[in-house]
Chains A and B, each alone.
Chain A
Amino acid sequence: MIPTSEQLYHFVDDLEKTLSFSFEIEGEFDDILLCGMGGSAISSDIVSDLCFEHSRIPIRVSKYSEIPRWAGSRTLVICSTYSGNTQESVAAYEGAVAAGCKVIAITAGGLLMDLAERDGTCIIPMPADMHPRHSIGYMIGYTLAVVQAVSGCDITDSIRECIQSLREYRDEIMPKKTGKAWRMAESLVGRVPLMLSDMSLRSVAFRWKTQFNENAKYIAFTNQSHEFNSCALDVWSADECSNGYLVVLSGSDSPELEDVMARMDERGCQYHVERFDGRSVVENKFMALILGDYISMYMAEIQGIDSGPVPPISRLKELLKERL
């Protein structure tokens, strides 16, 4: 397995490699359904957000084993599971095939690969030996290529334009002890992080949460600014909640976030605001993603634990093997 630090370092390279990947598909579609779980689903969240304001057909992310009734022959379904053995994703694949959907499988092997080969389903193979959650550079690029082929939105140029800036940003925030990621990791250890964002960064806020879960072994949560109303502010301002740590992720002009922060200031609520000032919404998303990934890895390091293994998931899988 490639070490976590190496996989995080190469995220931008992985993403760049996929930009030359073009995908062609025949047919017209009414909607796109992105099926996956956990690390493989994060790419779907990010692609869905990237295309939200640009796609000419709806894109829905499903993190479940069943597909909705409306999915049919005019629905393009992308099933993503790095290992190929995630039960929910395999079940979703089977459901999509049975419903007559056009299906694409993105996987590095496993049962999904076998089923897709059997069914003659189009397969986009993933490179081997990665943590599923760190294969996100490839997953985003491949998913985006398929989505772009049918939805009419083109984000590739926007990504290409910010690749160099993303490398520079990574190099700026990553130094141990002195870099921003390490310093933020130090302030988060021993707290319950809550990432607060506007709609433009919601998928990245979710990525921070899941990376804190898996790499740092921490419980964490997310909220969008509109969910963080006056009642929430009162609760967070209270002493008994002082162990929570609010991180505001701000990626664009967001009156709601500014309003929430002004009200937090009035109440003396403690929070950290991280503003991303890239040249585009796309750049801000990826800057935020890189920072969150590094923070999570350093949180593990500060605690003296290995960010790679995820014992509760391993145990769950063991038990499921016996029961399914």
Chain B
Amino acid sequence: MLMGVDEEVVFSPQSMRVYAVSIPDDIERVLSEPVVCNTFDGHVCMFGVGNSSIAGDIMQQYLDESSDSYIPMVSGDLVPGWMGEGDHAIILSYSGDSAEMVRCYRSLRERGCIIHCITSGGELSAMCIEDGQHLYKVPGDIPSRCSLGYMLAHLSVIIQSLGIVDACDQLRDRVEEVRSYLGSPSLSDSVESIACSMVGTIPAVYATPDMLPIAKRWRQGLYQMCGMLSFYGDLPEFDHNEIVGWGYPNAHSPRLTMFALRGPRESELINIIVDTMADTLVEFGRDVHTIRLEMEDTLVRNICGCILGDLVTARIKELMSS
């Protein structure tokens, strides 16, 4: 039932919580083997859409802070012109049947790229085996959005094996910090408070680039778990255009409510800009709900932020049905 129907899977808040808190275990399961490191000088590019793209988005943010090479994440089926023979492409697709990713695989194969597929099966898996490309299997019996830990861990193995950065070691070292967050006594209060503030609204979740994957994940969860219309966007870009729409009464959109994810990586400049944005919106009659994620490390912050979002959406679903 769960295979190949990524976007249509409906699951209960209870099972969603179980999946969310098992992310550290999922990561450790993949990272139990040592990684053989090589060196590679060419281009590397990640591809993915939908739920499967979140792991790539998180990895890109981490690599922006830690890598000497630009490793982009492409959300779509078009292949950049600079990807050519011998370059490494990493495709993330839980079902392995995403039409965009299948098309992307074929384009990359035509160009002579070395392809790594992280998938549970489907057409991608079959093509990968037939072509002698690299296949990284994730369990096929879970909903696609619950494969984040597996996807991220496999991705870190590939990145480290290409000699880009020690992503795998870094991720392994941070699993305990994620577990510690899950065990923190204030977590359930945060979940309750955020869930209550979102019920009855059309949430728009905004974040700075280092936390944008979390905003995207929250928006996906609100759609998929709660059937709630929701949006996401980036700060401080918001201040240069969107703030105008939000600053006008727009009687047709009273339920739209802004939730700003904020973290310790904000520079002093960004801190002041985002504070000022919130003050300006309040002056123009719009409230801003701020959600703070204080983990210093980008990987930890993004993983914990995604888990928090999953727990919040599970709780919203309960609140909506009670």
Contacts and interface: CB of A to CB of B under 8 A. Distances in A.
Interface centre among A87, A191, A212, A316 (most CB of B within 10 A): A316
Contacts of B234: 63
B280 interface: yes
A312 B227 contact: no
Contact of A226 (B76, B80, B244): B76
B227 A231 contact: yes
28 contacts: A51-B81, A56-B81, A57-B82, A58-B43, A58-B80, A60-B72, A64-B209, A65-B269, A66-B267, A70-B63, A133-B241, A192-B256, A213-B245, A217-B244, A217-B245, A217-B248, A219-B245, A219-B246, A219-B256, A221-B231, A226-B50, A229-B7, A231-B7, A243-B252, A255-B99, A312-B280, A315-B280, A323-B275
Interface string B1-23: 00000111000000000000000
Contacts of B237: 37-38, 41, 63
B244 A313 contact: yes
B241 A315 contact: no
Interface stretch (A15-23, A135-143, A234-242, A272-280): A234-242
B126 interface: no
Contacts, number: 192
A324 B227 contact: no
Contacts of A56: 81-82
Given A39-B241, A231-B224, A235-B227, A64 B208 contact: yes
A241 B244 CA distance: 22
Interface string B63-79: 11111111010011111
A243 B70 contact: no
Contact of A69 (B6, B66, B227): B66
Given A88-B269, A316-B239, A319-B276, A52 B80 contact: yes
A182 interface: no
Contacts of B229: 235-236, 240-241, 244
B168 interface: no
B192 interface: no
Contacts of A65: 236, 267, 269-270
Nearest to A217: B248
Q: Which 10 A-B pairs have the closest CB atoms?
A: A38-B240, A312-B247, A199-B76, A229-B7, A210-B241, A219-B245, A226-B49, A68-B64, A217-B248, A213-B245
Given A39-B241, A52-B78, A31 B70 contact: yes
A319 B276 CA distance: 7
A226 B100 contact: yes
Given A38-B241, A58-B82, A316-B243, 9 more contacts: A39-B241, A53-B78, A56-B82, A60-B70, A68-B64, A87-B273, A210-B242, A316-B276, A323-B272
Nearest to B7: A229
Contacts of B241: 38-39, 133, 209-210, 213-214
B223 A192 contact: no
B131 to A, nearest CB: 23
A174 B253 CA distance: 28
Interface centre among B67, B234, B244 (most CB of A within 10 A): B244
A54 B256 contact: no
B80 A70 contact: no
B66 A312 contact: no
Interface residues of B, number: 66
A255 B246 CA distance: 34
Interface of B: 6-8, 43, 49-50, 63-70, 72, 75-82, 98-100, 204, 208-209, 223-224, 227-229, 231, 233-234, 236-237, 239-248, 250, 252-253, 256, 267, 269-270, 272-273, 275-277, 279-281, 283-284
Contacts of B80: 52-53, 55, 58
B67 A70 contact: yes
Given A213-B242, A219-B242, A315-B280, A230 B7 contact: yes
A189 B254 CA distance: 15
A190 interface: yes
Contacts of A53: 78-81
A284 to B, nearest CB: 15
B50 A55 contact: no
Nearest to A255: B99
A64 B7 CA distance: 32
Contacts of A217: 244-245, 247-248, 250
A319 B279 contact: yes
Interface in A211-225: 212-214, 216-221, 224
Contact of A234 (B78, B227, B269): B227
A69 B273 contact: no
A212 B270 CA distance: 25
A122 interface: no
A234 B231 CA distance: 15
A311 interface: yes
Nearest to A210: B241
Given A41-B237, A219-B242, A68 B99 contact: no
A227 B219 CA distance: 10
A221 B248 CA distance: 16
Contacts of A1: none
B70 A218 contact: no
A25 interface: no
Contacts of B277: 316
Interface centre among A39, A255, A320 (most CB of B within 10 A): A320
Interface centre among B240, B245, B269 (most CB of A within 10 A): B240
